[in-house]
Structure 1
Amino acid sequence: MKKPQKIIFVLGLAALISCNSKAYHNAEITSDRIPIDQAVEEDTAIANFIQPYKEHLNATLDSTLAYNPAYLSKSEGTLNTAIGNLMADIVMEQAGPVFLKRTGNQIDMVLLNQGGIRSTLNQGNISARSAYALMPFENEIVVAELSGSKILEMLRYLEDAGTPHPLSGIKIRVNSDYKVTRAEINGQEIDSSRNYFVATSDYLQQGGDNMDFFKDPVALYNVDYKLRNAIIDYFSKVDTLDAKIDDRYILIK
């Protein structure tokens, strides 16, 4: 009795396959490029709908937060710039209390990158829009716990770069060959046997701008604070900016 059942099953399966077989053909897809320019007429209903929101957003972005007494540019300075110092100090001041509350530890230093400064700051009133121009990216502030040997790698990176990357919490002296002759964090010489908490952006911590010394830290802490938001919050709480070139990273001849 079992053999006829097998034959019936095979025949039924063959019939099912033959009934469901279909012929497939390549589909031809065509497209047209439609330019979005002045030739495209505005939809009045949509424009009227979003206009109140647009006005509110512009008013928020353009409202004065603080006063800047002098024009600031990342090109004005050899190894440290006023605008870079300002940005690094803002990270220290704004992210420091958050990190301390969460971990019980102090941020030892801050390192950002000069290329991340995307705009100047004009003299006069500054707004949230100024902060968006300065930092248009969605970069988050993170704190990397680095060994003393990694800090020494960071110093070698700065020697090779010879660039005024924004720094805070550290003082560096270099000779005419841009070789570090002395470096101090929190007023003390760097100890290769201890760890340091270094605030930076998530982009740099992942190796951006070839800052590979940030990779594989002892520990990594996310402050949940966008760099741009820290700048806006700082602008909101001060009346007048105090940004200047100083002695945090200088050449000693």
Structure 2
Amino acid sequence: MILKIKQIVIIITITCFFSCKQEKPVLTEISGKQIAVSDTLIATDSIEAFVAPYRNRINEILDSTIAYAPKDITKNDGILNTTAGNLMADAVLELAGPIFKSRTGSSLDFVLLNHGGIRSIISAGNVSARTAYEIMPFENTIVVVGLKGDAILEMVDYLIKAKRPHPLAGIQIILNKDDTINTIKIQGEDFDENKTYYVGTSNYLVNGGDRMDFFKKKLTFTETDYLIRNIMIDYFTKKNTIAPITDDRFIKLDY
């Protein structure tokens, strides 16, 4: 009888133990809803008070005038080169060139960027740092790659077929009426197919952007760590007045 009682007690104890054991929670459903960020949202006073000084300081810096544009600067005011494209490429050549020179001892020969990377116009009037963020909202940096002559010819062929005013500086390409090459000059000198040229461009393009596959033939690669946006801000500050023009850096003859 005592043995049976003990067995009953053990069974009851084990049953109670397992019945009281906490089960692990199991995720059975995920739900959510979209909340539009607009002026209908009610601000939290404490958060607003904390953020306000930082926001005001950032706006003060971004909206401070650093240059002046006598007229609108756009990426649509030329056929094969535009005022906005020429401005950006010239800025990169002038400001990234010394960095590349200091790191490698070599000179930056020319610059190629992409037309689609210019995201806004520069309106006539005061120019601020915020303008640079509007033109180049991406975190792209300038890199410099070494390309042999055959890759440069592939690049020129790409530009001819693209028929878009991709930003260029330091190189001149003149086409005949039938789209054949008339002249290629780099830094004012005739193109030498046997030479290695150092080309400044964006990390986006080197990594396959816009299908610029000729960059795959790069012999050297140097990262400047210089954001294109910061180059624009520094260039605006340095020049004070910005008035780029369309010119003969990339043109097609009509005869």
| Alignment TM-score, normalising by the size of structure 1 | 0.88
Q: Which has the larger radius of gyration?
A: 2
Partner SS state of residue 138, structure 2: coil
2:85 — aligned with what?
Answer: 84
Partner SS state of residue 107, structure 2: coil
1:230 — aligned with what?
Answer: 231
Shift of 1:189: 2.0
Gaps of at least 5 residues in structure 2 are 1-22
1:249 — aligned with what?
Answer: 250
Paired residue type of 1:140:
T
2:69 — aligned with what?
Answer: 68
**Alpha-carbon distance in 2 for matches of 1:39, 1:30:** 26
Identity %: 46
Aligned pairs (5 A) from 1:26-175:
27-36=27-36, 37-175=38-176
Describe the superposition over 1:49-80 as per-residue Cα deviations: whole angstroms up to 9, x where unpaired.
11111111000000000011110111110111
**Alpha-carbon distance in 2 for matches of 1:57, 1:182:** 47
**Alpha-carbon distance in 2 for matches of 1:186, 1:50:** 49
**Alpha-carbon distance in 2 for matches of 1:83, 1:32:** 43
Instruction: Write out the 4+ residue segments of structure 1 that deviate beyond 4 Å after TM superposition.
Output: 23-26
**Alpha-carbon distance in 1 for matches of 2:56, 2:26:** 50
Say whether 1:194 aligns with 2:195: yes
**Mapped contact 1:120–1:134 kept (Cα < 8 A):** yes
Provide the aligned length of Structure 1 versus Structure 2: 233
Q: Mark the CA change 1:49 to 1:24 in structure 2 (over 3 Å): closer, same or farther.
A: closer
Shift of 1:38: 4.4
| Alignment TM-score, normalising by the size of structure 2 | 0.87
Shift of 1:176: 2.5
**RMSD between superposed Cα atoms in Å:** 1.8
**Alpha-carbon distance in 2 for matches of 1:38, 1:137:** 26
1:3 — aligned with what?
Answer: none
Describe the superposition over 1:18-58 as per-residue Cα deviations: whole angstroms up to 9, x where unpaired.
xxxxx999631231204134453211110011111111100
Describe the superposition over 1:166-197 as per-residue Cα deviations: whole angstroms up to 9, x where unpaired.
10011111122333221111122221111100
1:5 — aligned with what?
Answer: none
